[in-house]
Amino acid sequence: MRKLTVRYFIEGEGRIDLQLRLFAGAGGLDKEIKYGEINRPGLALAGFFDYFAYDRIQIFGQGETAFMNQLSCEQKMKTYSDFFSYDLLCCIFTHDYVPDKLFLEFAEKKNVPIFLSKRGTTRFITLFVHVIDEIFAEQVTLHATLVDVFGVGVLLTGKSGVGKSETALELIERGHRLVADDMVIVKKIDESLLMGAGSEILKHHIEIRGIGIVNVREIFGIRSVRNRKRIEMVILLEEWDSAKEYDRLGLDDKKYSILDIEVPYITVPVRPGRNIPIIIETAALNQRLKKIGINSARELDEKIKKWIMTEGQK
């Protein structure tokens, strides 16, 4: 994984903007953020330094700032010099609170970046944890194509040349949206949530044999693309193999494991003349039905079983 530095909070391409303002300590911007965790430094300011998580991101809310305000000059000197004797990562003050001069002097001297946020502490922490979780999320790069089909994130996989990009193009033409072609960066945001996106450079480009590289956003417009999408099903495209048994019923749910998360999975055999995009559309809609508890194959099976039971008794 790439190294993440404090600089990320104020600059960097493709980052999620936390709307932080750098106020002091610019010299420490290249410190590495090793842990995606925060600390409220109240106890440390009060002089209790056992278990002080100095290498976490320090968040100063109204409690901390009020405490600092009531300190006398001598107390401040003592508190701050103790506090800054640790190799602090960075401090964030919420409510746009500007710390006192002495604090800022220490920060400059020790190269500890000080940021201000307009937000209230709880709101800020909620947002911040969300962003940090995403940055520190486990990730993997897959050779696949991700398309949003009727709101279902469909990951198309299969060997090169099987027609993933062509299928994606046809789906785009039918009004669906491309997330990434040929290279999908998948992040495990939560124990049950896989988020897929394209790489920054390749964004919304697609390679079609015979034409070359085209920019989908430029050709089909903004409605044909989206930046990220939750992966809800995996479709493996493979050359039709007459010796292989393909699923004819859809009674058994198969799962595909990505970063230890199980995703519903089907295999679609490709053969000239077979309309793959419409099969994918149907699979996506079927997946949506399954999600709300309707399983067509199982329901038909139940119906037939019931019919056999009643008719068979006559």
Which of 107, 137 has the CB closer to another protein?
137
Q: Closest by alpha carbon to 168, among 201, 194, 145, 191?
A: 145
Q: Is the distance from CB of 110 to CB of 82 less than 8 angstroms? A: no
Minimum Å gap between C-beta 159 and another protein is 8
Determine the Cα angle at 173 with ends 168 and 175, to 5°. Answer: 100
Query: Site residues (CB under 8 A) for another protein?
Result: 2, 141, 143, 160-161, 181-183, 199, 201-202, 205-207, 213
- Concerning whether 182 is annotated as a catalytic residue, the answer is yes
**How distant, in Å, are the alpha carbons of 53, 58, 100, 167, 292 from that of 106?**
19, 15, 10, 59, 57
Minimum Å gap between C-beta 78 and another protein is 46
Q: Is the distance from CB of 167 to CB of 280 less than 8 angstroms? A: yes
- Concerning whether 248 is annotated as a catalytic residue, the answer is yes
Which of 238, 301 has the CB closer to another protein?
238
285 is written with which tokens? 């809609």
Task: Select which of 164, 177, 205, 229 is catalytic.
Answer: 164
Which of 2, 314 has the CB closer to another protein?
2
Cα torsion 214, 215, 219, 222 to 10°: value is 160
Minimum Å gap between C-beta 14 and another protein is 13
Minimum Å gap between C-beta 205 and another protein is 7
Task: Select which of 31, 110, 182, 188 is catalytic.
Answer: 182
Q: Closest by alpha carbon to 125, among 229, 37, 232?
A: 37
- Concerning whether 55 is annotated as a catalytic residue, the answer is no
Which of 24, 155 has the CB closer to another protein?
155
Catalytically active residues, by annotation: 143, 164, 182, 248
